[in-house]
Amino acid sequence: MVEPGPPLARPASPAELFKVFTLLALQGFGGVLAVAQRELVERQRWLTQAQFVEMLSVGQVLPGPNVMNLSLMLGDRFFGWRGAFAALAGMTLVPLVVVIALAALYTQFAAVPMVAGALRGMGAVSAGLIIATALKLMGSLKTNAMGRWLCGGFTLLTVVGITVLHVPLVWIVLGLGSIAVTAAWWRLSR
């Protein structure tokens, strides 16, 4: 039996949501998901690991970036439309200014070999963050209705479909996603 952990906290105001999501966005260029999990589950304790995975799952099937969708859902959960707006503004406002400034700098220094090398290195770091987050979230599969093996099978099929067979993501989501939803529904209805 799983013992309940400490009670969850909640943000004090929409302004706190804005601040936390701004800091989150500024920490995670190219890899906000790993930072979001650590910040929202481990540091702020606004969500449990299972709640984070559920919200992220919904955010991934909605149009738009999954962490943006997550920020909207979390903000709405605590403060309705004001919270949703504050969290989304935190994710976009300051990072937008930073990205515009970096784009202006990039046009000036794109031909410098050190800049090109630094950008390649940042790509490797981003890939590492995604893999680390996936490994960290695997623990939530213990309570998944489909079980670890079926979830692992869908993960493997997704990776092979995208990386080896070069199937477009939309077909992966529509095809494997539909099968996975059906499998989950069938398991839950038994």
Q: How is 16-38 classified by DSSP, letter by letter?
A: HHHHHHHHHHHH-TT-HHHHHHI
pLDDT tens column, 81-96: 999 999 999 999 988 8
Given a contact cutoff of 8 angstroms between Cβ atoms, the answer to whether 176 and 85 are in contact is no
Find all residues with CB under 8 Å of 106, minimum gap 6, and list them. 115
Mean of per-residue pLDDT scores for the chain: 86
First to last CA, the chain: 22
Q: Tokens for 57?
A: 């799952």
**pLDDT score of 5 more than 80:** no
**pLDDT score of 2 more than 80:** no
Q: pLDDT value at position 125? A: 79
Given a contact cutoff of 8 angstroms between Cβ atoms, the answer to whether 84 and 76 are in contact is yes
The stretch 133-146 carries a mean pLDDT of 77
Q: For residue 29, what pLDDT band results from cuts at 50, 70 and 90?
A: low
The stretch 112-139 carries a mean pLDDT of 79
Find all residues with CB under 8 Å of 6, minimum gap 6, and list them. 45
Percent of the chain with pLDDT over 90: 36
Separation CA 116–CA 114 (nearest Å): 5
Sign for the pseudo-dihedral over CA of 75, 80, 84, 90: negative
Q: Tokens for 164?
A: 């080896």
Query: pTM higher than 0.85, yes or no?
Result: no
**pLDDT score of 57 more than 90:** no
What are the distances in angstroms from CA 162 to CA 133, 148, 180?
A: 19, 21, 16
Q: Which of 12-26, 37-51, 141-155 has the lowest mean pLDDT?
A: 141-155
**pLDDT score of 30 more than 70:** no
